[in-house]
Structure 1
Amino acid sequence: MTDLSLDGLRFAAKRLHRGYQAREPWAVERLRQHPPGKPPEALGRADFLHVIAQEHGFASWPKLKLAAETLGLDRATAQQQLKIALFHGQNARTEALLERFPDLADGLFGLQCALYQREAVAAALARKPELAVARLGPRSAILHLCFSKWIHARPDLEADMLAVAELLLDHGADVNDGYPHQPGDDHLLSALYGAIGHANNMVLGRWLLDHGADPNDGESLYHATELGHHDGLRMLLAAGADPKGTNALFRAMDFNDHGAVRLLLDHGARVDDYNAAPVGGEAPVVIPALHQVARRGCDGAMARLVLEAGADPALRWKGVTAYEMAVVFGSDAVAQAIRDAGGATSISPETEPLVAAVEGRDGPFIDPAKLPEAFANLLREMVHMADRLSQMRALVARGLPYDQPAGPERITPVQAAGWSGLPDVLAWLLSLKPDLSHVNAYGGTLLSTILHGSENNPGRKEGDYIACLRLVLEAGVALPEAALRGAGRADVSAFLQDWAKAHPGQVV
């Protein structure tokens, strides 16, 4: 383990520098996750110190050094860990940090708000009222409050949480405040999205709406479909949220959620908003509803629901009909619903090799260059459906690429399987020898993508993330110390700690 002193971290930076110069895989991987933004030949000592700082939750080495000199590195690192734990809902980690440092949030107004420390917030505002509207890092105080998931560990603090909200409002906080997801982004993530879509905090969401929060913030309605219940969705729709143009309808289809789709349709969502093309013509960029149903593994009832709502079974999107998409994705019930509705059932020559493979018929080898655009990332889009593993095997056996990064996120099929917590699919993909060092556009490796999925995938309760972690560790991926420190689930953390003790040479 790294020596958590400034000298120890300086030595770790030197070791990282030497490893990177030697192109050691563990060092190359770490710089991929924290890219310095310079060509390799231009990297100097400061760049590797910067990587070390980022791995410990600090924006830069000078900020880490200042915190270490003023607070002590142990406490400074714990404060950074607390910020991350509260935001991501790593409540067991939050509790452990507070048990170790009961006064860890003292003097940090944003953390005091996120922990619902009513008396401390009131005292701080009495001394310095402008704290209610100040930026405390990228977020204001009300955003620290709304994006905190602490309520799920401490529901007994509900009254204190609402009291903190009232204190902030009384001192000028804006219930419609937001912050950019990325620096320079014009679109803001609102306080309402933080409470409902991010934190699944319905009590605070209701308080925000009652105090004038705008339900049409471009995020809340969409993410309310991901919660596994309809409370937030109903709350937002009752407050006047307009589903049109939000993609909330499609997101509800991702979960085959009939109730959510009906709610959205009843409140003005229209499937033909996305089908603004002549019958039989090519659809716009946004995927039509029936194609979405076909590619997301929905059932026949969902297909009939969107057909009754006006979905056009003759519409083509990126070169294929919804029927072709249903057949290729193995969505037999959707294909049957389209046949029953009188939709086109012909298969184009470009799609035929895929259909032959999934149906187990003899057919030509798949030429990826000749596939319709709709199937450009086919395997990546199928891997979340573990029951389609036989079709995936058949497609790859006929020539479908199995390790292709998809879309602007640059996520590979093996990473998508790990995110979904599907060990059977993951084991098959690992047997094909994919690139285990690939880093996606989020800076995620295979290991970190599995960890992120274990805490953030809406369907994580059905996933077996420990089995997935075991598979990739057995395959030889490195186990970063940052992963050991940062795992937020108690069972996952315990597994990684046990693995690190049994395989110390794998820890980097």
Structure 2
Amino acid sequence: MSAGPATSLDDFKKSARRLRKAFLKGEAGATDRVSAHIDPAKPLRHADFLHVIAREAGHDSWPKLKFTLEAASLSREERAERLKQALYFGQHWVTEKLLADDPTLKDDNFGLQVALYDLDAVRAVVAADAAAATRLVGVRSPILHLAFSKEIHRRPERAADMIAIAELLVANGADVNDGYPERPGDKHMLSALYGALCHADNFELGRWLLDQGASPNDNESLYHATELEHPRALELLLKRGAQPDGTNALPRALDFDDEIKVRLLLEAGADPNITVPDHPSGQPMNTIPSLHQAARRGGSVKVVELLLAHGADPDAVWDGHTGYAMALIYGNLPVAKYLVEKGHAHKLDRNEQVLAACAEGKTNPGSLDIARLSKEDKSLLTRLAFIPGKLEHMKALIAAGLDPNEPDDMGLPPLQVAGWNGLADEMAYFLSLGPDLTHKNRFGGDALDTVVHGSEFAPKRREADHIACARLLLEAGSLLDPRYISGCGNEEMAQFLEDWLAGSADEAGSPAIFR
């Protein structure tokens, strides 16, 4: 007796398992079904059979099929909340599915109508009740729902409606300098300008807010503009009067060795030697001088030349080290050589010599005097764990005495830093040392949650493989909380995690393949 059509998630999973078994037996029908959607010559995993089942059911992918079934069981209130999250995080496939199933869902609250750029609906609401333009919807006002929405990347053709909504809200009392606390009780506010220009990468709305008087000095936008893949937002903020002095923007630009952004900040008056105060949110800010930051972040000689030309002190000492020593400690040999050529070399103490020897890959670097190391030096592994190609350097440091589980100031141990950045070889090494996989960082995430989050938000490096990192953690015993999947906007990662839940570790998570 043949199985009837699948109607539940469990039915679809069983169908995938049946398809896999038939394919492994070489049954022609199964091979034809797989070939219609996937190259059968490639190594196949359980996820591929789930994908075939999803495609046969009329869906683009397994996560979309699963979300379709899950959404059907959600209450209307829960679906509206999920839509709000999708707009905030830019999970466009979730937005499209929810609205395709129920186009009226956008009308459940004014914040959704604003975030979706529904100009006609917004006009009607404000015409009937002008106070709606400033009334909170949840924790954010309407103009903040607009600013933090990433809908512009799904519907760029609605840009004119977006601006028209902004104009309508402001005409009815909305404040272009409005903000909301990132966490309950925070005194520091995340501004509308930060939401538009940096969180949503919505240049047009950010420029409009500045045109209407939004302050460029909101303690967030300048810093986060350095993180964007383009310099437009940073250049705009500086032209509109953003003051880089007293902010952490220059050190952040140096994190990415971005010569254009570094030059913009220096020419706007950023002091390369300034000591930066604590962040308004209460979180400690990076107080490192720019030369030291460039040295430890793998900065180029061109960037260092730029810093020195704008007055960076080559003899400054930070955390017990000169810029020259910092370059050697982090293995930035081109910068160290350049500083020697310019007459800025300094004698290294015993610990600095050992740290530099580890960076150079010397076979017997010696042992560190741990008691004499600063907190920063003890956290050196976390500073290196996000940089591709530093594995041998980190191994040498551990052999010299550094603790492989030492967290940074955000509670992230090297394992989690490597995982967030998707560095699988580094992840495998730290796992071999028996770390605590349940350790929670100050963001509240464990190792697996950090990897899932990184699959969406970490820099898109060529070396990054977040799925490999997730697989390593699951094989090592990390527990998969279903909420990691429901909150994940990376379809490939979501499908992998669903695959893991759908089958045994041998099927979905191990290096075993199916042909």
Q: TM-score range by the shorter chain?
A: 0.7 to 0.9
Counterpart of 1:375 (choices 374, 377, 384) is 377
Q: Stretches of 4+ moved more than 6 A in 1?
A: 504-507
* Structure 1 SS opposite 2:274: helix
**Distance (Å, rounded) in 1 between the aligned partners of 2:88 and 2:110:** 15
Aligned to 1:387: 389
- Distance in 2 between residues matched to 1:504 and 1:142, nearest whole Å: 47
Q: Which amino acid aligns with 1:440?
A: N
**In structure 2, how many angstroms separate the alpha carbons of the residues matched to 1:160 and 1:353?**
61
Aligned to 2:119: 118
CA shift, 1:334, in A, is: 1.5
Report the Cα distance in structure 2 between the residues aligned to 1:357 and 1:72, rounded to whole angstroms: 56
Q: Which residue of 2 aligns with 1:403?
A: 405
CA distance in 1, matches of 2:500, 2:314: 51
- In the alignment, the residues of structure 2 paired with residue 504 and residue 104 of structure 1 have an alpha-carbon distance, to the nearest angstrom, of 38
**Residue of structure 1 equivalent to 2:14:** none
Distance 1:275 1:247 in 2: 7
Mapped to 2, the partners of 1:314 and 1:444 lie a distance apart of 40
Structure 1: how far apart are the matches of 2:215 and 2:461? 30
How far the C-alpha of 1:72 sits from its partner, in A, is 8.5
Residue 457 of structure 1: how far off its partner (Å)? 2.1
**1:429-458 per-position Cα deviation (integer Å, ceiling 9, x unaligned):** 112121111111111111111111121224
What TM-score does the superposition give when structure 2 sets the normalisation length? 0.79
**5+ residue gaps, structure 1:** 5-70, 277-283
Given that residues 181 and 187 in structure 2 are in contact (C-alpha distance below 8 angstroms), is that contact kept between their aligned partners in structure 1?
A: yes
2:305 paired residue number:
304
In the alignment, which residue of structure 2 is the partner of 1:428? 429
- The separation in 2 between residues aligned to 1:325 and 1:490, in whole angstroms, is 40
* Correspondence list, 1:276-425, <5 A: 286-359=287-360, 360-407=362-409, 409-425=410-426
Point out the structure with max Rg over C-alpha: 2
Give CA deviations for 1:269-288 in whole Å, capped at 9, x if unaligned: 12133499xxxxxxx97111
Aligned-residue CA RMSD (Å)? 2.4
Q: How far is the alpha carbon of 1:100 from its aligned partner? A: 2.6
* Number of matched pairs: 431
User: What aligned pairs does 1:255-274 form with structure 2 within 5 A after superposition?
Assistant: 255-274=256-275
What residue number does 1:453 align with?
A: 454
Q: Which residue of 2 aligns with 1:208?
A: 209
Tell me which residue corresponds to 1:252.
Answer: 253
CA drift of 1:77 comes to 2.1
Counterpart position of 1:227 = 228
Distance (whole Å) between structure 1 residues aligned to residue 337 and residue 460 of structure 2: 27
Question: Where do residues 55-134 of structure 1 align in structure 2 (5 Å cutoff)?
Answer: 73-134=74-135
Residue type of the alignment partner of 1:102? P
Task: Point out the more displaced range, 75-84 or 397-406.
Answer: 75-84
Deviations 1:404-429 (A, max 9, x none): 2221x111111111111111211111
Matched-pair identity in %: 48
Change (3 A) 1:480 1:374: closer
Q: What does residue 11 of structure 1 align with?
A: none
Change (3 A) 1:361 1:342: farther
Which structure 2 residue ranges, 5 or more long, are not aligned?
A: 1-7, 10-71, 278-284, 510-515
Shift of 1:219: 1.0
* AA aligned opposite 1:261: V
Q: Is the 8 A contact 1:319 1:373 kept in 2?
A: no
Q: Deviations over 1:436-482 (max 9, x none)?
A: 11111111111111111121224467622122212212222111111
